[in-house]
Amino acid sequence: MDDKQVMHAMSLDDAYHVDQVLARGSGGVTELVGIGGAGPFVRKKIPLQLARRNVWSALGECSSPRLPRVEATYELPDCFVVIYDYVAGESLESVVSKRGRMPLDVAVTVMGQLCEAVGELHAHGIVHRDISPKNVIMASDGAHLIDLGISRMHAEKPVEHDTTILGTWGFAPAEQYGFAQTDSRSDIYSLGRLLGYLLTGVYPTDNDYERLLNDDDVVDGHTRAVIARACALEPSARQQTAMQFMDELTGRAQAPVAQKGARSSGMDGHHVRRGAGSLGTAARHLRDSVVALPMSTRVVGVISMLLCVALVVVLCVGSIGRPGHDSAEPKSSGTSSSTGESSQPHAEKQEQSDTNVPSAGMDNDAQQQNVKLLEIGESGWYARDGYVNYAVELRNTSADKGVSAPEVSIVGKDKDGKILFTDKSIVIQIDAGQTVWVGGSAGDGGENPVTVEFKTVESSMGQYTSEGEWSFSSDSLNISKSEDTTNFTGELRLTSRTSGIIYSNVKLALVLRDKNGRIVYGDMEFVPMPDEGEPRAFSITEMNDEIPKYATFEVYAQPW
């Protein structure tokens, strides 16, 4: 800025009178101000190094009355200033604290208003990243979403993960803690957690949250299923838009049938378990001590561990053994069952690929070492309404080295090779000689792809020396059908585990094959970890009109 511009900005800033300081911190100062006879307005002064000018510019183009209306922006020598309208009302946090949990119809109305705001943000490329009770104002005309202080524009160039850990604990998804890059689906996760908060009356970090959420007298099965999907650990498993979230919540679109007792994948002390496979004795002792601590202490400890690269190592992946598999080959995890049907496939089988894509942040030697270990085996997919359901086999060819936090990239292309969508599916770790199956969905609801490519993406976390593995078995596999759904059911058993490592969940991969053994569909589900030796019933529910014809199904497992 030249001197004339600086003087103009300073004179404009001086024209406002401060009625109240609303907040002050490292992110700047937020004030309630007026100018002449107009106001009140909110004035937010943001340090220049933290200012995201493009976010506020895009917000100024938004038309939803549920969002702040930007009145002016200008720059001072030491800060970027935003002036926007003030919404009189009470925070959602205060409302719930005083009145307790909301009736379902009231909560649905609030969520509809917030989804209108979130949808508008996403349409303009903005990811809010802090949708939480304190950032929702209940005014006379309903809910308003405020505070875009840590919002960002959707990244045009994919990156491995967000570089700054931000968000409200309990409402922010894993990717906001450095696990991956945030995008609009990060806000979907927060919407799911917010709905759970409204219906239970407690924060997701509260010890009673899961109990209340799984109580049919508090939250009905349909709503619980919508919340569980929104709060899936993997972004590809969530609703992909705010409109889709509301359509499922209101019944305008089918949502997966809720399994009583099923858990979502929240970022609490039980779910942030990013690495323990090759810890030394001292580190194991530290980890076990942390597990025994109270939840509040563990929350702080988990954040500290995430910030310490030395303690971010590996987790163990287990599997359900497939009968008759040659032990000299990489260890597989399949259990299959036949339907007795004979049908033609409704999806193309993806060509096998062993292409590995090194990620940013790794040195060249580490990249080359990891590239030699992983390969894509079988894969297949089914496209419908701009989304694909896929199943991919990921193999570790090493006899003694595991790979921590690899990913599988999913790229859909049209007939001309133009990219329609990209996505990633995370694997916590893959031990030496193991095969891990990845199932899920990807897409953007637009054009159906003609081809889908799967490639391994190495993380910056590197390799480790395997110290055993988790393994599972299953029996009583069965298929039950209703008019609308097909349930793939069975019992899961934990047959072996690596000592001292604690996980709360199991990630299941469903694989459907046609009569020729070709993969025609894939999906995933999370279930609670069974006690060692004790069976844990599972059910993977699919809508009948969303799956192709198939002859057999298989289920694979890994700890999560």
Answer whether residue 49 shows pLDDT above 60. yes
Q: Using alpha carbons, list the distances in angstroms from residue 401 to 149, 204, 356, 369, 431.
A: 43, 37, 17, 10, 7
User: Is 25 in a helix, a strand, or coil?
Assistant: strand
Residues of the chain with CATH 1.10.510.10: 90-250
User: CA-CA distance, 512 to 552, in Å (whole number)?
Assistant: 6
Give residue-wise pLDDT tens across range 148-174.
Answer: 878 888 754 444 444 344 567 788 887
Q: Give the pLDDT band (50/70/90) at residue 180.
A: low
For the stretch 64-91, pLDDT in tens is 999 999 988 888 888 899 999 888 888 8
pLDDT over 80 at 198, yes or no: yes
User: Is the per-residue pLDDT at 273 higher than 50?
Assistant: no
**Higher per-residue confidence, 343 vs 494:** 494
Rg of the chain over all Cα atoms, to the nearest angstrom: 25
**E-strand stretches of 135-275:** 136-139, 142-145, 152-153
Residue 542 near residue 491, CB atoms below 8 Å = no
| Whether pLDDT at 543 is above 70 | yes
One-character DSSP codes across 234-260: SGGGS-SSHHHHHHHHHTSS--PPPPT
Q: What is the pLDDT of residue 476?
A: 86
The mean per-residue pLDDT over the stretch 533-553 comes to: 89
Averaged pLDDT, 232-252: 88
Record the tokens describing residue 412, joined without a space: 């859909």
Alpha-carbon distance of 381 to 33, in angstroms, equals 56
Instruction: Report the range of poorest mean pLDDT among 16-25, 118-127, 304-313.
Output: 304-313
Residue 11 has a CB neighbour count (10 Å cut-off) of 9
Q: How far apart are CA 220 and CA 260, in angstroms?
A: 10
pLDDT value of residue 143: 93
Task: Using CA atoms of 135, 138, 141, 146 in order, give the dihedral in degrees to the nearest 10.
Answer: -10
Give the residue-averaged pLDDT of 279-303. Answer: 36
Question: Which has the higher per-residue pLDDT, 460 or 209?
Answer: 209
Residue 144 is predicted with a pLDDT of 94
CATH 1.10.620.20 for domain 90-250, yes or no, is no
Band of the pLDDT at 547, cuts 50, 70, 90? very high
Q: Determine the Cα–Cα distance for residues 152 and 56; give it in Å rounded to an integer.
A: 9
Cis peptide bond prior to 40, omega within 30° of 0: yes
Cα within 13 Å of Cα(161), Cβ side: 22
pLDDT-derived band at 468, boundaries 50, 70, 90: low
Note the pLDDT of residue 155. Answer: 59
Contacts of 470 (CB under 8 A, 6+ apart): 316, 317, 318, 319, 494, 496, 497, 498, 503, 558, 559
Supply 77's token pair. Answer: 């020598």
543-548 mean pLDDT: 88
Q: What residue spans in the chain does CATH classification 3.30.200.20 cover?
A: 3-85
Of the options 2.60.40.10, 2.30.30.60, 3.30.200.20, 3.40.50.1000, the CATH number for the domain spanning 3-85: 3.30.200.20
Q: Taking the model in full, what pTM does it have?
A: 0.49
The closest of 204, 195, 186, 166 to 52, measured between CA atoms, is: 166
Residue 336: what pLDDT? 44
- pLDDT of 540 over the 50 cut: yes
Q: How much of the chain, in percent, has pLDDT values that exceed 90?
A: 30
> Dihedral through CA 271, CA 275, CA 279, CA 284, nearest 10?
-10
Q: What is the pLDDT of residues 319-332, one digit of tens each?
A: 343 332 332 333 33
Gap between the Cα atoms of 348 and 452, Å rounded = 9
pLDDT above 90: residue 411:
yes
Region 17-42: what's the mean pLDDT? 84
pLDDT band with cut points at 50, 70 and 90 for residue 529: confident
Per-residue pLDDT for 366 more than 70? no
Q: What percent of the chain has pLDDT over 70?
A: 72
Q: Give the Å distances, CA to CA, from 433 to 218, 269, 329, 366.
A: 45, 30, 8, 19
- The predicted pLDDT at position 64 comes to 92
541: pLDDT confidence band, cut at 50, 70 and 90? confident
Alpha-carbon distance 508 to 514, whole Å?
A: 20
